[in-house]
């Protein structure tokens, strides 16, 4: 192995495990401790962005303090120098992580190897990790199947990439037209889609999306573009999971209905409450439906009195890995520590709408109330669509037209 393949004289890089828009992940060896590790090397173009560089280091240091059996451990961080062109050296940050031998939940979903009991057990593991991280003041922001590993023999759950989505969201590089556009659309919370401050309840919404997909082999919302999927997260009520998998119980449907509420004040308020509801659902105990007249619109969400500091994706639909591959058709497949790397992928196949289905967990009066509010908020939907189009690159024409100066009168 050449010296170029050893980082800071300590970490030997071996086989490439995965390649994404954000980073490359290698299997490596810590030559000091003699243990196998996974090493994530950030893209050089992102490393040039000083805001990303600083945010990445702060987030990595914060996440390194998380010590939980369901969280992929971070062992070390550092930087190494690469040539960025004639006379230019770039300091590229890297993360040394626990190497996990196993498969991602995305692999298991695609292989249709999950049953209902396994799906519940895996999401309980994810929620245990989130409960721990939220108590430490860290919000994941990118919970999705590709970021959850299941170990080979013991089937233990390992959640990956805490804090990385935040670093990407705050990077100036991600705000350019040619760079990343959105966080992974199928798992966005409504507040993420609207660019609002993100707190722990956003992770719980994404976890509910993950559970829905494990139970049905499809996310709660699909569409022919990330924009259409994000719009549905904000405005549409998902079909019950039992529509796609009749084996899903009414009690489990009720848990998902609670977890997928548009208004975060109507969701589970912490991961522990979500876990208790899941355990009760296994015994046939349903979550009570919200009372008629309860606000359901995300635009009426009760503001947090103590939001997570420097909250989340406040500049719009920007996340960790919905990168320029969305627009340019770049690579989609990759592996993370022992499995698949967190990667963006286009929204799944378009599904027919089911207009006749009763929104799960709602009384009929509530459904009518929600529809009336939706009509009164038509202007909000228009604004949301315009914002999404601008962030997706497709709204450039709209943006230019709106900001075009009027021709002076002759």
Contacts (Cβ under 8 Å, ≥6 apart) of 305? none
Structural contact between residues 109 and 213, judged by C-beta atoms closer than 8 angstroms: yes
For residue 197, count CB atoms less than 10 angstroms from its CB and return exposed for 0-12, middle for 13-18, buried for 19 or more. middle
Please count the CA atoms within 13 angstroms of the CA of 108 that sit on its side-chain side: 29
Catalytic site residue from 142, 203, 266, 341:
142
In 267-292, which positions are buried (b, 16+ CB within 10 angstroms) versus exposed (e)? bbebbebbbebbeebbeeebbebbee
Q: Which residue's structure tokens are 């690159």?
A: 393
Q: In Å, how far from its chain's centre is CA 329? A: 20
Q: Is 76 a catalytic residue?
A: no
How far the first Cα of the chain sits from its last, in Å, is 73
Pull the structure tokens for residue 169.
Answer: 């969201």
Whether the CB-CB separation of 301 and 265 falls below 8 Å is answered with yes
Using CA atoms, how far apart are residues 9 and 156, in angstroms rounded to an integer? 33
Contacts 24+ apart (CB under 8 A), 40-46: 40/94, 40/95, 40/97, 40/336, 41/92, 41/94, 42/92, 42/93, 42/94, 44/82, 44/84, 44/90, 44/92, 45/173, 46/22, 46/171, 46/173
Residue with tokens 């120098």: 81
Please give the positions annotated as active site.
Answer: 142
């Amino acid at each position: 192995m050449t010296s170029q393949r050893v980082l800071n004289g300590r970490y030997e890089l071996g086989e490439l495990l995965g390649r994404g828009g954000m980073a490359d992940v290698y299997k490596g060896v810590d030559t000091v401790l003699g243990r196998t590790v996974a090493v994530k090397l950030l893209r050089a173009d992102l490393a040039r962005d000083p805001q990303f560089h600083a945010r990445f280091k702060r987030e990595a240091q914060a996440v390194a303090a998380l010590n939980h059996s369901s969280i992929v451990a971070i062992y070390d961080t550092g930087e190494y120098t690469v040539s960025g062109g004639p006379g230019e050296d770039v300091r590229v940050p890297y993360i040394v992580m626990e190497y996990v031998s196993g498969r991602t939940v995305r692999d298991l979903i695609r292989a249709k190897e999950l049953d209902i009991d396994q799906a519940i057990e895996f999401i309980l593991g994810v929620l245990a990790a989130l409960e721990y991280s939220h108590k430490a003041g860290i919000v994941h922001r990118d919970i999705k199947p590709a970021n959850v590993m299941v170990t080979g023999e013991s089937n233990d759950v390992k959640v990956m990439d805490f804090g990385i989505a935040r670093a990407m969201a705050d990077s100036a590089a991600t705000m350019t037209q040619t760079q990343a556009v959105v966080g992974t659309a199928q798992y966005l919370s409504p507040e993420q889609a609207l660019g609002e401050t993100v707190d722990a309840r956003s992770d719980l919404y994404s976890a509910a999306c993950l559970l829905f997909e494990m139970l049905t082999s499809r996310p709660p919302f699909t569409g022919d573009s990330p924009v259409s999927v994000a719009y549905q997260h904000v405005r549409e009520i998902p079909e019950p999971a039992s529509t796609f998998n009749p084996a899903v119980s009414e009690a489990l449907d009720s848990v998902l209905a609670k977890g997928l509420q548009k208004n975060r004040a109507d969701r589970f308020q912490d991961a522990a409450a979500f876990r208790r509801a899941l355990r009760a659902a296994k015994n046939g105990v349903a979550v009570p439906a919200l009372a008629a007249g309860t606000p359901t619109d995300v635009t009426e969400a009760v503001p947090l009195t103590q939001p997570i500091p420097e909250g989340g994706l406040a500049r719009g639909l920007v996340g960790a890995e919905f990168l320029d591959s969305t627009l340019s058709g770049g690579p989609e497949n990759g592996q993370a520590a022992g499995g698949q790397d967190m990667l963006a992928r286009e929204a799944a196949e378009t599904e027919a709408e089911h207009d006749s289905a009763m929104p799960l967990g709602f009384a009929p009066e509530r459904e009518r109330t929600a529809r009336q509010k939706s009509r009164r908020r038509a202007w909000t939907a228009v604004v949301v669509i315009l914002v999404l189009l601008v962030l997706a690159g497709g709204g450039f024409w709209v943006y230019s037209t709106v900001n075009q100066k009027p021709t002076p009168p002759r």
